[in-house]
Amino acid sequence: MEEEKKSGHDHSGGPGTIQVVGIGPGDLSQLTFKAHQALTEAQVIIGYSTYLELIPAYLEGKEAISSGMMKEVDRCQKAVEMALQGKKVVVVSSGDPGVYGMAGLVLELSSPHGIQVEVVPGVTAANAAAAVLGAPLMHDFTVISLSDLLTPWEVIEKRLEAAAAGDFIVILYNPASKKRKKQIIKAREIFLLHKDPKTPVGIVKNLYRDGQEVTISNLDNMLKQDIDMFTTVVVGNSKTYQQGNQMITPRGYNLP
Ligand code: SAH
């Protein structure tokens, strides 16, 4: 950390590279071809153990470094260290690495060292969830994380309020955990100040992973569903409706 700031293009010391790769929500079918290439060509793959378990085939013959959920900074520092040894490093994020993923941290920590970093996008949970629900994101939407670990709760509440008042479709990430339920309860209360109780709510759990569950509920009843850390919640706007097992937000076309 005491290193002198170098230009981002100065590779005179011969550092390797870091690619921050999104692996999509779980199943390999959701991996982009670019992510596949990066994982195939990597010498070192670093990631949270749960994510590395999703890509066993890519770990064979490579140095795999996994760590627990609370060690994001350590993990990125390790990536920088390995890159400075001249290695081709991949840091894995679920979904898209630039959406509450590892991309920001890797860029922040690697910039003083002149390491070349590439962010390889992935299918974020919001896109994947929308697809299995039907077409709920056909109009303006916003993603809000209910995790107040790194963001003050007051800030989150203000954003929920603004999103609801603006009639956005709202996607909730990190909606609840076993011990943390009050945020989703409060979020629903805020939505009900502006949205109809019958507004469809898509609840998508363990998408593309074991135990996948897709449910369409509404604001009234949504808390009857089991909502946890592996769930993405999609709250419709005032035009969103349910048709069979699909959630649709009309774009606004005149239909015959
Ligand atoms: N970088 C990730 C998001 C990290 S935030 C991405 O782009 O998808 C973590 C939150 O994403 C989870 O709490 C959950 O709300 C959502 N999520 C990630 N993977 C999911 C999956 N397979 N099924 C349902 N929700 C998921």
Q: Which long-range contacts (CB under 8 A, 24 or more apart) does 11-14 make?
A: 11/114, 11/116, 13/84, 13/114, 14/86
Q: Which domain holds residue 97?
A: 17-123
Looking at the fold, whether 69 and 176 belong to one and the same domain comes out as no
Residue 165 CB neighbour total at 10 angstroms: 12
How many separate domains does the chain show?
A: 2
For 112-166, the pLDDT digits (tens) are 999 999 999 999 999 999 999 999 999 999 999 999 999 999 999 999 999 999 9
Residues in the chain: 256
Q: Assess whether 113 and 174 both reside in one domain.
A: no
Does residue 63 lie in a domain region?
A: yes
Are residues 115 and 156 part of one domain?
no
pTM (predicted TM-score): 0.93
User: Which CATH number characterizes residue 226's domain?
Assistant: 3.30.950.10
Do 145 and 111 share a structural domain? no
Domain membership flag for residue 162: yes
Count other Cβ atoms within 10 Å, centred on residue 14: 8
H helix or E strand, kind and range, residue 211: none
- Flag whether 12 is in a domain: no
| Ligand 1 atom 2 nearest Cα | 95
Residue 165 within a domain: yes
| pLDDT, tens digit (0-9, with 9 covering 90-100), for 6-27 | 444 444 457 899 999 999 999 9
What pLDDT was estimated at residue 71?
A: 85
Q: What's the pLDDT at 13?
A: 52
My answer on whether 133 and 227 are in the same domain is yes
Same domain assignment for residues 93 and 142: no
User: Looking at the domain assignment, is residue 11 inside a domain?
Assistant: no
**175 domain-assigned:** yes
| CA–centroid distance for 58 within its chain | 21
Looking at the structure, tell me whether residues 242 and 203 fall in a common domain. Answer: yes
Task: Please tell me the distance between residue 96's alpha carbon and the centre of ligand 1 in angstroms.
Answer: 9
The per-residue pLDDT for 148 is 94
The answer to whether 135 and 44 are in contact (CB under 8 A) is no
Does residue 4 carry a pLDDT above 60? no
The domain spanning residue 80 has which CATH number? 3.40.1010.10
pLDDT at 180 over 80: yes
Residue that terminates a domain, selected from 123, 138, 164: 123
Ligand 1 center to 7 CA (angstroms): 34
Same domain, yes or no, for 117 and 83?
Answer: yes
Question: What DSSP state is assigned to residue 223?
Answer: G
Q: Do residue 183 and residue 98 come from a single domain?
A: no
**Mutate which of 231, 233, 234, 235 for ligand 1 pocket (most atoms within 8 A of beta carbon):** 231
The average pLDDT across 95-106 equals 97
What mean pLDDT do residues 184-209 have?
Answer: 98
Residue nearest to atom 13 of ligand 1 (CA): 174
Q: Report residue 256 as tokens.
A: 């015959």
Region 228-237 average pLDDT: 98
Shared domain for 86 and 152, answered yes or no, is no
- Ligand 1 contacts (CB < 6 A) are 25-26, 93-96, 99-101, 124-125, 173-175, 204-209, 229-232
**pLDDT bracket for residue 3 (50, 70, 90):** very low
Last residue in a domain, options 123, 153, 188: 123
Name the 3-class secondary structure at 119.
Answer: strand
pLDDT of amino acid 178 = 87
Residue 213 lies in a domain: yes
135: in domain: yes
Q: What is the pLDDT of the chain when averaged over all its residues? A: 93
Among residues 67, 97, 123, the one where a domain terminates is 123
Q: Are residues 67 and 116 in the same domain?
A: yes
Say what the pLDDT of residue 15 is: 83
How many angstroms is it from 219 CA to the middle of ligand 1?
21
Dihedral in degrees, nearest 10, Cα atoms 244, 195, 221, 138: 30
Percent of the chain with pLDDT strictly greater than 70: 94
CA 44 to mean position of chain CA atoms: 22
In our burial notation (b when 16+ CB lie closer than 10 A, e otherwise), range 58-81 reads: bbeebebbbeeeeebeebbbbbbe
